Structure 1
Amino acid sequence: MAITAKMVKELREKTGAGMMDCKKALQETDGDIEKAIDYLREKGIAKAAKKANRIAAEGSTAIAVDGNTAVLFEVNCETDFVTKNDQFKQLLNELGEHLVKQKPADVEEALQQKLHGDGDTVETFINGAIAKIGEKISLRRFQIFEKSDQDAFGAYLHMGGRIGVLTVLEGTNDEELGKDIAMHIAASNPRYVSRDDVKEEEVNHEREILKQQALNEGKPEKIVEKMVEGRLNKFFEEICLLEQSFVKDPDQKVKKYVESKGASVKAFARYEVGEGMEKREENFAEEVMNQMKK
């Protein structure tokens, strides 16, 4: 199939590999992005598959807490300037209060609910803000957490809400400990709490990639298996919170640090504004085409 500039751009953002390497990988895999990622990793060109990190949409994450319920949510707008607007900040407060009290199952349900249980719907309320502020505004996503009286929430907003993290710690009321763990998550961006949360098929897929990588490096087959298991441990350290070195005390793993406080991590969510979203798509494709012609 024809390899487009858009496909090359997407593969570059996901792997950090060079443009011509990405183009060749796509040609070798008939345009299959996921297979192309594997191809680049097996060749040692890309260290690991990663989500596109280009922040294309503006907006803010926010956190609201009401007793034993808390919510992390993201609201998008068109320009960063709007996030500093008092009307936008009031919108975040209203939405946070609604979500944490009404606990909708998803965005679609939230938009159709009456704001705070009466009056206009959330969707009408947002549309009213759009009319006042003059920009498209949308509630993109949210995650609600519950805890017991013996547990603690940890809340952290980085750069005024560019990144938002909400954690739930069991066995402690120490909110500062919760915030410390949330700050670590903001910096280290784990995907799972522990290795037990990683699906078996994902582990097996990674194992195959690492095995092929080692064989391509010319390592003897008899030692490849041991090498792969060692590298798998590093893989878990990258994606699992409890396996990571704690940012405030790198000599300790997060798991040991939390346990030393008599607590455990139950769950977390981390949002970064605009992750996975893009704008000016045609311009990005044009930029890639121009670079390929050089």
Structure 2
Amino acid sequence: MAAISAALVKELRERTGLGMMECKKALQAVDGDIEKAIEEMRKSGQAKAAKKAGRTAAEGAVATKVAEDGSFAVMVEVNSETDFAARDENFLAFVETVLGAAFDRKEADVAALMAGELEETRQALIQKIGENISVRRIKLVEGGRVDAYVHGNKKIAVLVALSAGESELARDIAMHVAAVNPQVVNKEDMPAELVEKEKEIFKAQAEQSGKPAEIIEKMIGGRINKFLAESSLVEQPFVKNPEVKVGALAKQAGATVESFVRFEVGEGIEVAEVDFAAEVRAQAGL
């Protein structure tokens, strides 16, 4: 077996980002051939990545990029298993790489974007960080004036498209969406089945009051109107100035809100609750 120098181990570490012992063992296995060691480590890394693919990745980060002319913007969510990994500079660099590729290609299909080199980069990152990393979703928004807001913790991001107006207005409305989380732009956009569901809930509550049917009907109508107003972006009081509604704010600038998209890291992902004490007992045969 060829002697493995510290300099060779150092070079392999710098090229792969892996630990000293892993690098030394890899070099020993191929008699010091660094290129073969990298090849074998990549093969091993892909195997490790496959094992990690089944683990839930519900942490991560969101990021946005807006065209200079404000005609379109792209938003991505990339997930990791832990918040610690989500703050790693290598992970954040990968998020920016994915974002840049999606922006340059105006590509919102994750599978199409990740085919080829980006997938290799993801696999290498999994090997380096030791966690499952996944590109969960991408959104492309176009409009007369599009801008974005990303919360400081990189956990919430919003894209807003206006028919006209300035970037600052679109950004302010995006910040409002991040804070208040409306369901739709206009109350007419609310899905009928959701409205009916709310009506059933309000009806059951109102009937407990023992009031006449015609009064109950008016109560239900009032509550539905309130629900729609509270859930619709243009009907909400603007967070920076509650005296004016978001729709009116846009109208003052000669614009209307066309659409918005809000990403919150991990929303909708079911995370299994792990009883670590029970897991230890099981492994110990207790």
Does the alignment reach a TM-score above 0.5?
Answer: yes
In the TM superposition, residue 159 of structure 1 has moved relative to its aligned partner by 2.8
**Matched residue, 1:185:** 177
1:8-27 deviation line (CA, Å, top 9, x unaligned):
xxxxxxxxxxxxxxxxxxxx
RMSD of the TM alignment (CA)? 2.0
The amino acid across from 1:129 in the alignment is L
Distance (whole Å) between structure 1 residues aligned to residue 76 and residue 229 of structure 2: 27
Question: After TM superposition, where is structure 1 displaced by more than 4 Å over at least 4 residues in a row?
Answer: none
CA distance in 1, matches of 2:178, 2:252: 22
- Please name the residue that 2:60 is paired with: 59
- Aligned residue pairs total 219
After superposition, the C-alpha distances for 1:106-155 in whole angstroms (9 at most, x for unaligned) are: 3222222x4xxxxx2x22221122122222111011211122xxx22221
2:220 to 222, 228, 232: 228
In structure 1, the residue corresponding to 2:266 is in which secondary structure? coil
* 1:60-86 residue CA offsets vs partner (Å, 9 max, x unmatched): 011022353311111111222223222
Shift of 1:247: 0.8
Q: How does 1:2-81 map to 2 (within 5 A)?
A: 57-67=58-68, 68-81=71-84
Q: Which has the larger radius of gyration?
A: 2
The letter for the 2-side match of 1:101 is D
Over the matched positions of the two proteins, sequence identity in percent amounts to 43
Moved more, 75-84 or 275-284: 275-284
Using the size of structure 1 for normalisation, the TM-score is: 0.69
Specify the SS of the correspondent of 2:153. helix
The alignment's TM-score, normalised by the length of structure 2, stands at: 0.71
The 2-side partners of 1:139 and 1:249 are apart by 36
Q: Which residue of 1 aligns with 2:261?
A: 269
Letter in 1 for 2:141: F
* Deviation, structure 1 residue 223: 0.8
Residue segments in structure 1 that go unaligned for 5+ positions in a row: 1-55, 115-119, 287-294
Q: Is the 2:79–2:86 Cα contact (8 Å) retained in structure 1?
A: no
Separation of aligned partners in 1, 2:157 and 2:168: 16
Helix, strand or coil at the partner of 1:193: coil
**Is the contact made by 1:69 and 1:100 (CA closer than 8 Å) also made in structure 2?**
no
Pairing of 1:135-284 with structure 2 (within 5 A): 135-147=131-143, 151-172=144-165, 174-283=166-275
- Contact in 2 for aligned 1:72/1:143 (Cα 8 Å): yes
Gaps of 5+ in 2: 1-56, 279-286
The answer (yes or no) to whether the contact 1:63–1:96 under 8 Å persists in 2 is: yes
For 2:106, the equivalent position in structure 1 comes to 103
User: What is the identity, as a one-letter code, of the residue corresponding to 1:110?
Assistant: L
